Structure 1
Amino acid sequence: MSCPYGEEDIFQLVEGELDPGRRRALRAHLRGCAACRERYERELMLSDSLRSLGRSELRETPSIACQVAMALPTRSGRARIMWTLFGAVLFALAVVALELRDVSLITAGMEVLGFSWGVASGLAGMLRIFFTAAGSFILLALAVGALIDLGIAAGWILFRRRRAREA
């Protein structure tokens, strides 16, 4: 028999994240399904034990994130080898295509570097123009913000002094 509820539903029930209608339906299902009831009880015990540890003990343990990352499924060795071979073949094809067009790798690399430098230089020029045009406005906005902050701080200090005198 296949259950309509999965691990995620049971986890959400234990954590109290299900809406009331779904929670009632899942609880009714747990009364009749031994497998789901066993998963629910196991999840409940795990959740209770984690809550009982307290934050200080959790800080002293080694990184849980590392353990979780290591437990996650990864691609099989065969799939990794296939992707590596695929990348190597694509690289070799790119080199052959460049050579057939009579372009050396160094020349192609220099062209890419020159293009990248041109883009970076253009962006720097655009930013310089923007900040030249908007600089006065930005300084004015910063000055107004600083004055507002000073006013709030002065009001807070006066309020605290008045409360201290009243007490």
Structure 2
Amino acid sequence: MRWQEKSSGCDPARIFELVEGSLGPGEEREVREHLARCRGCRKLYEREAGLSAFLGSMRHCPPPVQRGTISRGVAMALPTRSAKARAAWSTLAAVLFVAALLDLERTGGFELVGALTGAFNELSGLISGVAEAVHTGLSVVSWPLFVVLGVGTFVDAVIAVVVLAFVRRSRRA
């Protein structure tokens, strides 16, 4: 099978197969030629080869002391967010935490709970009112709707009988 570049870029599956050693000699040569030209695929290959080698070396390590934990070495080898992204998220979390504390201090805390309870009561009243309106509307149109649905069912049954009779006659002919 020839090396195929997809419309969105390169084929990472072939790189993973190269790392695993599951490619034939010709396919391996094609992928290695591509790696010589493509920086992104080369970086992916180097990362996967390093991770594969590290995981291979972990097979000879004793199991972790605590059950259900991940070896610290494996956890440290896994890709994580960049330091800039972690710093940005940490800063955002701290700002939101401080804003929430200041709001609780300003309102006295209990006023927030009271406001939420009031909003819930208003929402509950709205839902109850909508349910009552739907019930009233359905009670007004229920008999006419029932009659229309009954007539429609009867018409559908007649059409089905006519179609079946027509199909049977056309098969006999």
TM-score range, shorter chain: 0.3 to 0.5
Q: TM-score, normalized by length of structure 2?
A: 0.42
Q: TM-score, normalized by length of structure 1?
A: 0.43
Higher share of residues assigned helix: 1
